[in-house]
Amino acid sequence: MHVHPDFTVDAPNSLPYGGLTRGTEEMKDRMSSFARYWDEPTFNVHAITADDEALVTAHVTLCAVGKATGERLEMEVVEVWSIEGGRISSQRTFYFDPVVARRAAGVTSEPST
């Protein structure tokens, strides 16, 4: 599966790598930002469901170690992907508890709104 050139990713604004990302260049920046906070990230897949050819939902557990704290994070995450013309057009990410993720990542400043 390929991504649409204008695809978007939306993650909780309270995360340092959250907010709305548009296109492949911004996504590369987001992935670099994610990597600044986490070591050893893995995603353990619990379920992937497809409503039809236009919507896919993934339930995963993100396991990672905060680079700044050494704290291990195990957080349930749900991702909802929209598909257009056989390409991923958008992804929305929902963390079970973004406050816990921020703490494990060592983020102490208040999230931007």
Q: pLDDT tens-digit profile of 56-98?
A: 999 999 999 999 999 999 999 999 999 998 899 999 999 999 9
β-pair type (19-22, 2-11): antiparallel
- pTM for this structure? 0.84
| Tokens 């749900």 sit on residue | 78
Residue 34, classified by CB atoms within 10 Å of its CB into exposed (0-12), middle (13-18) or buried (19+), is middle
Hey, is 68 helix, strand or coil? coil
Paired strand residues for 87: 2, 84
pLDDT of residue 112: 61
Quick count: other Cβ atoms within 10 Å of Cβ 68? Answer: 13
Amino acid present at 36: R
